[in-house]
Structure 1
Amino acid sequence: MPPTTDTSTNATANADDDSKAKPDPGPNRDKIVLVTGINGYIASHIGLQLLEKGYRVRGTSRSASARDHLLTGAFKGHAAQYEHVVVPDITAKGAFDDAVRGVHAVIHTASPVDFTLQSVDAFFAPAIGGNLSILESARTAAGPQLTSLVATSSIAAIVDRWRLPPTHAYTEHDWNESGERVARAEFSAPVAYGASKSAAERALWEWRAANKPLAFAVAAINPAVVTGPPVSWPETPEGLNTTLLPIWRIWSGTCPNGQMPPPIGGAGYIDVRDVARMHVWCVEHPDRSDGQRYILSNGKAPPQAAADLLRERFPERDIIVGEPGKGYTGANYWFPGDEASTVATKAYEALGVTRFIPYDRSILDTVAAFEERWPGVAQNFKAKN
C-alpha cells in the first residue's frame, strides 16, 4: 500500500521576488558548494535551495552565457553569493580542477539527457568520463575542507526489467545489469541512456573503493522521472527538457500527430523540489550519506495521468483524451500491484517524510508556472456554444 500523508513542506520560492526578506545565512555563509551543470533543470533547483539557505554557490556550465541567464532569472537577487566557472568538456583531464578549489561540497549533475544520440558509446563517454573527472579533481585539487560529493544518478541505473521479475520491488541494492547488452544488440536511445547511468554510477563506486580512505563522503541520488515547475527557463516551450516537454504539449494541445506522449522509462515520478532537497540533505549529512544510494520516487504516473488530471481541472481546455485511466492507479498515483515498483524508504527516512510532493500538485504547479512564464501561449480553449 502507498504512503498516504504528504508531509513534505518544501516549496521553492519565487526567484524573481526580491522584495522578500532573505534569511540570515548563519553558519552557511562561508561554505561554498559546487554544482556542476548548474543551468540544468534539477541543478538550478539545487542551486536555488542552497542560495536560499545562505550557502555560496559555484556553478559550472559549458558556456559563459549560463551565468547571466541564471542571475537575471532563477538566481536573481543572489549575485553576491554566486560565482560561475566555464567547463567546456567535462570529460577532459583536470576539467574541474579550478572549479573545485576551496569548495566544501560538490554536487555533480552534469550528464545531459539527450535521446537524439545515435550510439551506446555516445551515451557512455560523457556519463562515465564526467563522473571520473569530477572525482579526480575533488581528490587532487579541492583541498582538505571538502566534506561531501553527491552525484546525480538515475532510477535507470537500478531497474533491470530484462533480468528481474515484472513485479519486483526495486531497492538501492538492485542494479541495471542488462541494459548495455540489450542496447548493443539492438540500439535504443532510452535503453542506452539507462545503461550509461548504470555504468557511470558503477564507475563512481569503483573509484571510491579504489581510492579509500577518502577525506570526503560520496553519495548517489537515483530519481525517477522528474516533474515539477522549473526555475530556469528556456526561451520557448519547445526548449523544455525531456521530462517537461510532454507536459507542455498535453497542456497546450500540441502533441505531435495528436498522439499521447509515450511514457518515459517505467513512468515512475518524483517532484524536482524533492530531488533537490535530497541532494542538499546529503551535503549537510556526510556522516549519514557516505557510501549510500537514495532512490527518489513517489509512485507511477504516465503522461495519460497528466492528461486525465488536466482535463478534469481545466474543462474549458481541449486536453488530449488518450485512454483515460490507463497505466496508473487513479488519484493516489501509486504503483499498480501487478507491476514493478521502486522503494524510496531510505529517502523518506532521511528527509523525515512519509511521502513526497504528490503528482497532482507537481503537475498543477508546473502548468501554473507555464502560464506565468508564457501567458496566453497555450490557446487550446474549447469553442463556446
Structure 2
Amino acid sequence: MSTSAPDNDHENRDKVVLVTGINGYIASHIGLQLLQKGYTVRGTSRAAAARENLLAGPFKGFEAQYQHVQVPDIVARGAFDAAVQGVHAIVHTASPVDFSLTTVDEFFGPAVGGNLSILESAKAAAGPQLRSFVVTSSVAAIADKWKQPADHAYTEADWNTTAESVARQTFDAHTAYAASKAAAERAVWDWTQQNSPSFAVAAVHPAVVTGPPVLWPATPDRLNETLLPIWTIWSGGKTMPPPIGGAGYIDVRDVASMHVWAVENPDRSHGQRYMLANGRAPPQAAADLLRNTFPERDIIVGSPGLGYIQDYGFPQGQPTLISSKALDALGLQHFIRFDKSILDTVEAFERQWPGLAKNIKQEQ
C-alpha cells in the first residue's frame, strides 16, 4: 500500500515533520501522506520495533525520507527533546487509549501530560524553524450530551465541560476518556496562551474513525477499537458491537489530510479547532451495508435500519456535528462516505487476511 515519492516535491525534502505515535492507525496514514508529498518524516513510538514494521509496510520505498526516535514514556520531562530538534512541524497523535483503566486520573495522566511534555520540548529544543504544531483531539472534547439539548448542532465553539464531573461521580471508562480528551486539549490552549509560542497551534477533532489501515497488526483481534467492530461484523460475529460514543463517523484518509493541511497552513490554522464528522452510523449501519453488498456471507442481522438514516447523515432531532470549517479548509464538498469507507475497509481486510473470514454461506 505504498507509493514511491513523487518527483515534483523535492522542495519539501528539507522539511522535517515529526509525527508522534507514528505506528498508530491515524498517525501511520498522516506519515504516509507526508512522505508522498516529499517531506522527511520523523516518527516516534514507545517500542523500537515500530520502525521496522513501518519500513517493511506502508513506508517501504521511503527509507531515505524516514527517521525514527524511540520515546518510551511520553509524559517524562524532556521526553521529546531529541525528537523535536530541527523539525519544521509537529503532529502530536500519541495519546494511549486503554479502556481497562479504572480511574479518571489514570486517563488524565498520559493525555494531559503527553501534550504538555511535547509542547515544553518544542519550546525548548525544536529551534526557530518550527512553524506548526497540530494535536489530535476528538469530538469527545466537543460534544457534551449532559449540557446540550438532544438536537444540538455542535461546532468547534463547543466544549465538553461535564464529562469530568460525571466520570468522577460514577466512573465509566468511555466518559473518563471523553473527559481526558477535553482536559488534554484545554491544557494545550492554556499553555499556548501562557507561552505565546513562535509556532502555530491547531487541533483536529475526528469522530469515530473508519477506513482501511496502512499498518496492520499480526491478527484481527489486535485491530484498534474503531476497526475491530467492522472486522467482527465482516467475519460473522453473532453479537452486534455497541456504538462508539454518539456513532459519528469519518474516514481515516480525510482525518490524515486535515492534519497535513494544518501543518502546511500555519497562518490559517493557528488557534483553530477542526471537527471532522460525516453523519451518524452505528455498527448496525455497517452490518446492513455488508449484508446487502455480500449476500453470500452470513452477516449478523440485528435490527435493520435502526439508529441511522439512508444517506448516513445526521437523523433529525438528534445531535449534529458541523464540519463545514474543515471542509472549507480542505476545499471539499463532502468527506468520504460511510459506505465507501466500510467497503474499502473490508476489501483491505481480504487483501491482508485472505479467506480468514470464513462466514461464506453453504449452498443449500
* Category of TM-score, reference length = shorter chain: over 0.9
Within the alignment, does 1:168 sit opposite 2:147 as a pair?
Answer: no
1:106 match: secondary structure? strand
8 Å contact from structure 1 (residues 113, 242) kept in 2: no
CA distance in 2, matches of 1:33, 1:129: 22
**Could you tell me which of 198, 201, 210 is aligned with 1:227?**
210
Deviation at 1:265, TM superposition (A): 0.2
CA distance in 2, matches of 1:111, 1:45: 16
**Could you tell me which of 203, 212, 216 is aligned with 2:199?**
216
Aligned twin of 1:59: 43
Aligned twin of 2:277: 297
Q: Which structure would you say has the larger RCO, counting Cα contacts within 8 Å and 6 or more residues apart?
A: 1
1:208 match: secondary structure? helix
Q: Deviations over 1:218-249 (max 9, x none)?
A: 00000000000000000000010000000000
| Identical-pair percentage | 67
2:41 match: secondary structure? strand
8 Å contact from structure 1 (residues 217, 290) kept in 2: yes
**Could you tell me which of 27, 48, 59 is aligned with 2:11?**
27
Deviation at 1:116, TM superposition (A): 1.5
Q: Deviations over 1:324-362 (max 9, x none)?
A: 0000011x1000011001000100100011110000000
Deviation at 1:202, TM superposition (A): 0.2
Deviation at 1:259, TM superposition (A): 1.6
Superposition map of 1:64-143 within 5 A: 64-143=48-127
Deviation at 1:24, TM superposition (A): 3.0
8 Å contact from structure 1 (residues 55, 81) kept in 2: yes
Question: 1:313 corresponds to which letter in structure 2?
Answer: T
CA distance in 1, matches of 2:98, 2:301: 28
CA distance in 2, matches of 1:83, 1:49: 15
1:112 match: secondary structure? coil
Within the alignment, does 1:279 sit opposite 2:259 as a pair?
Answer: yes
Deviation at 1:25, TM superposition (A): 2.2
Deviation at 1:141, TM superposition (A): 0.4
CA distance in 1, matches of 2:258, 2:7: 21
Within the alignment, does 1:347 sit opposite 2:347 as a pair?
Answer: no
Aligned twin of 2:132: 148
CA distance in 2, matches of 1:210, 1:271: 34
Superposition map of 1:215-364 within 5 A: 215-254=198-237, 258-330=238-310, 332-364=311-343
Deviation at 1:113, TM superposition (A): 1.9
Deviation at 1:22, TM superposition (A): 3.4
**Could you tell me which of 132, 152, 172 is aligned with 1:188?**
172
Within the alignment, does 1:203 sit opposite 2:183 as a pair?
Answer: no
8 Å contact from structure 2 (residues 140, 182) kept in 1: yes
Question: 1:373 corresponds to which letter in structure 2?
Answer: Q
Aligned twin of 1:373: 352
CA distance in 2, matches of 1:340, 1:380: 36
Root mean square deviation, CA, Å: 0.8
CA distance in 1, matches of 2:118, 2:316: 40
* TM-score, normalised relative to structure 1: 0.94
Matched residue pairs, number?
364
Q: Deviations over 1:282-328 (max 9, x none)?
A: 00000000000000111110000000000000000000000000000
1:102 match: secondary structure? coil
CA distance in 1, matches of 2:336, 2:146: 30
CA distance in 1, matches of 2:288, 2:132: 42
Deviation at 1:109, TM superposition (A): 0.1
CA distance in 1, matches of 2:182, 2:82: 28
Within the alignment, does 1:383 sit opposite 2:347 as a pair?
Answer: no
1:25 match: secondary structure? helix
Q: Deviations over 1:164-189 (max 9, x none)?
A: 10100000000000001111111101
Deviation at 1:23, TM superposition (A): 3.1
- Where does the alignment leave 5 or more consecutive residues of structure 1 unmatched? 1-13
Question: 2:253 corresponds to which letter in structure 1?
Answer: R
